[in-house]
Structure 1
Amino acid sequence: MGSKGVNKKETVSLHSICAVDLFCGAGGLTHGLEKSGIAVNLGIDIDPACKYPYSANNNASFLLKSVDDVEASELLGAYNGSRLKLLAGCAPCQTFSSYNQKADSSDKRWWLLLQFSRLIRETEPELVTMENVPGLMDQDVFKEFVADLKARGYHVDYQVVNCAEYGLPQQRNRLVLLASQLGSIKLLSPKEFKKKTKTVKEAIGKLPSIEAGAIDSKDPLHQSSSLSKTNYQRILVSTPGGTWRDWPEELVADCHKKKSGKTYRSVYGRMRWNEPAPTITTQFFGFGNGRFGHPEQNRAISLREGAILQSFPKKYKFTAPGEPISKKVLGRLIGNAVPVQLGELIGKSILKHVTEYNLSVCDEV
């Protein structure tokens, strides 16, 4: 196994950790790991739209390739002989999401986690991390993933994390797994991470005001979707934290008047300034797709605001200069991303683990 190459009489430098990010997307996890102090040498994704934002904002190389076709030699080459190898990733999670009521084991994405397992077996990284939706935890494919790690000698810890407790300005529950060949490992607690809770107002309250359908002159990503005449009337009568149930009868959609539609209360709402945002999905730029109305301005939140609520830096580049902006494409990249702050939490947890391992080794020498 990979840990046999670590001389326990030597102090392992934190800078000797090198990571590869599978299913890297636009770079949220990579950016957070880099922010924590962990070097990431390679990000891999099958989506060509990820290449520019990943490469423009991070120090890692980008490989456009399906994980099905990735070979161990490509990862080992990226690790470049590093003392400690970290394999990180978030397999596409829509299959296991509570928003997806139709997916089953016939969905090819269901088995991407097993490709993750294959690459762990073939490259033997000392450290592994995975982030996904909580629903994955109940699936046999996840249980098989964990069992395979343990069978190979990894210490495994996983838990569902409310990211808002770690300072993300968003209510987002995620499954986070950490595994190590070095010894027991666990995620930092909110107290150890030392980040204060953050509200929508603290995150996006100072961005320039724009109207529905408008684009900020200094930041093309700070643009909002236009509203139909009916939806404009709806947002005028919407209050922060409210729902369509608060509207006059004539503005309520026909589908919501039906018995089957009365349970869908989490659409057509405004965010509250003094709370974290609701979970940012791939459709966050549309007023009717969730509680994505701006707390004060009569529009849905902009692409930039969604990215900031996902803890991407305000200057994070998602499209090349002069390239047309597709709300659908960027909504997917931003909504599917691992929040940068969660990536930083994972990175700092790994660094603390390695530091404690070094201290225990020094005590034994």
Structure 2
Amino acid sequence: MSNQTFMDLFAGAGGLSLGLSRAGLTPLYAQDVWLDAVNTYKHNLTGHTVECGDVADLTLDHLTVVLPERPNWIVGGPPCQGYSTVGKRNREDERNRLFEHFRRIVNHVKPDGFVIENVLGLKDMSFQFEVSQAFKEIGYNVHFQVVSAADHGVPQLRRRVLFIGHQSAEFKGLDPKLSADEYVSVEAAIGDLPALEPGESSKIYTKPAASPYQKHIRNGSKTLQGHSASKHPPHLVEAISHIPDGGNRTSIPDHLQPKSGFHNSYSRLASWLPAVAVTQNMGKPSGTRCIHPFQNRGLTTREGARLQSFPDTFIFTGPTTSQRLQVANAVPPLLAQALGTALLDTTRWA
């Protein structure tokens, strides 16, 4: 399993490619339809072709031109929601169309294997069976698994589904690296970053790394990118100031209670635990548990990137709202690296 190569479809900002590369696989090609994400990918991951385009327009003839060789792996996160209900699939569903184009390219290129990564919300028996069957029909043994990012050193309780297929072998699965009492906490992930008031930003480190994760994630970076806090109105800052570390909106006095939001809106991250799933609304206190554990504000893009396990040297480009969506949509690089390491481990195959 040495000298393995891959191409990444639905590549986004490059979290999956970054992790697989760090595990020792070599990227040959990447594509995504979102220009902002493609620009971020190109800024950080070089040495191979990265294109902005619709997977529906990706032909075998074009791939023959842009690929230096046939990749061992095709990886990506094609939407599969349209496959999650047996008997009700709409073949015109955009989500089916994208998945079927991913399968079409796998069938045309015929890599040794493929990886599909997707959201946990798709996990049901029909979804698992339908997607697996679609690839078995074109000659692949398919392993399905639910994984937790926290099990692999990511300071976030994000759970994802994986399909790993191979033409000549069967994958035994990705084993957890950490137990629950070894998880990386929010404080261990972002506690070294400069404190900010709402509306403030910082481009310099003001204190040394205080945890192994912080030392790892700084990755030799000398400056900070994306550490800018959203500006909140004074009444909102006062309201969230009443919420303790790990607490929720029930601690806000009645006269300051926000008039809208869900039960998990206006909640602080617990400093001693991994974060919940990072979302594009990380900068908004009304988002899903995204208030800083100690500071009276939402998270910065860099804090979100830290919780997704992107190194500080990884630069997100485009408008702030776009950067936060890129972070939220990404595969955590440490999870991708653990997957890549397992793919290269001959003992993980039967």
SS at match of 1:147: helix
1:21 is paired with a residue of what secondary structure?
strand
Per the normalisation by structure 2, the TM-score is: 0.85
Give, as a single letter, the amino acid of the residue that structure 2 aligns with 1:253. Answer: P
Match of 1:233 among 224, 234, 238: 238
Query: Residue 51 of structure 1 aligns with which residue?
Result: 38
1:275 to 273, 276, 279: 273
Runs of 5+ consecutive residues of structure 2 not aligned to the other structure:
85-89, 205-223
Instruction: Give the superposition deviation at 1:197.
Output: 2.0
Mapped partners of 1:94, 1:240: distance in 2:
36
Amino acid at match of 1:295: P
Where do residues 299-318 of structure 1 align in structure 2 (5 Å cutoff)?
Answer: 299-318=297-316
Counterpart of 2:198 in structure 1: which amino acid?
Answer: A
CA shift, 1:152, in A, is 2.4
2:165 maps to what in 1? 179
Alpha-carbon spacing, 1:78–1:128, altered in 2? closer, same or farther (3 Å): farther
In structure 1, the gaps of 5 or more residues are 1-12, 98-103, 257-263, 320-324, 361-365
Deviation track 1:313-333 (CA, whole Å, cap 9, x = no partner) reads 0111112xxxxx522111111
Distance change >3 Å, CA 192–CA 350, structure 1 → 2 = farther
Q: CA RMSD in A?
A: 2.6
Normalised to the residue count of structure 1, the TM-score between the two structures is 0.82
Q: Greater shift after overlay, 25-34 or 178-187?
A: 178-187
Kindly report which structure 2 residues correspond to 1:183-194, keeping only aligned pairs within 5 A, or say none.
183-191=169-177
1:71 aligns with 2:59: yes
Specify the alignment match of 1:332 in structure 2.
Answer: 325
Query: CA, structure 1 residues 276+351, in 2 after alignment: closer, same or farther (shift >3 Å)?
Result: same
Using the TM superposition, name which of 326-335 and 69-78 deviates more: 69-78
CA, structure 1 residues 133+96, in 2 after alignment: closer, same or farther (shift >3 Å)?
farther
Percent identity over paired residues: 30
Q: In the alignment, is the contact (CA less than 8 A) between 2:8 and 2:31 conserved in 1?
A: yes
Q: Counterparts of 1:121-200 in structure 2 under 5 Å?
A: 121-138=107-124, 143-191=129-177, 196-200=182-186
Tell me how far apart the structure 1 counterparts of residues 330 and 16 of structure 2 sit (CA, whole Å).
8
Aligned to 1:211: 197
CA distance 1:306–1:61, shift in 2 (3 Å)? same
Q: Describe the shift of the 1:53–1:333 C-alpha distance in structure 2 as closer, same or farther (beyond 3 A).
A: same
Equivalent residue letter for 1:222: H
Specify the alignment match of 2:219 in structure 1: none
When residues 135 and 313 of structure 1 are mapped into structure 2, their CA distance, relative to the original with a 3 A threshold, is: same
1:93–1:274 CA distance, 2 compared to 1 (3 A): farther
Shift of 1:204: 0.8
Distance 1:74 1:352, change over 3 A: farther
**Structure 1 residue 356, shift from structure 2 partner:** 6.5
Within a 5 Å distance, the mapping from 1:97-112 to structure 2 comes to: 108-112=94-98
Residue 13 (structure 2) aligned to one of 26, 32, 46: 26
What are the superposed Cα offsets for residues 65-121 of structure 1, whole Å, 9 maximum, x if unpaired? 111111123334454335x62000012579899xxxxxx987523431111111111
Q: 1:192 to 1:74 in 2, by over 3 A?
A: farther
Contact 2:81 2:96 in 1 (8 A): no
Contact 2:245-2:270 at 8 Å conserved across structures: yes
Q: Deviations over 1:13-53 (max 9, x none)?
A: 611x2100000000000000000000011110001101222
Amino acid at match of 2:30: G
Cα distance in 2 for residues equivalent to 1:132 and 1:301: 24
Residues 125 and 148 of structure 1: is their aligned pair in 2 closer, same or farther, counting only changes over 3 Å? same
1:322 corresponds to = none
Pick aligned residue for 1:87 from 66, 69, 74 = 74
State how many pairs are aligned: 324
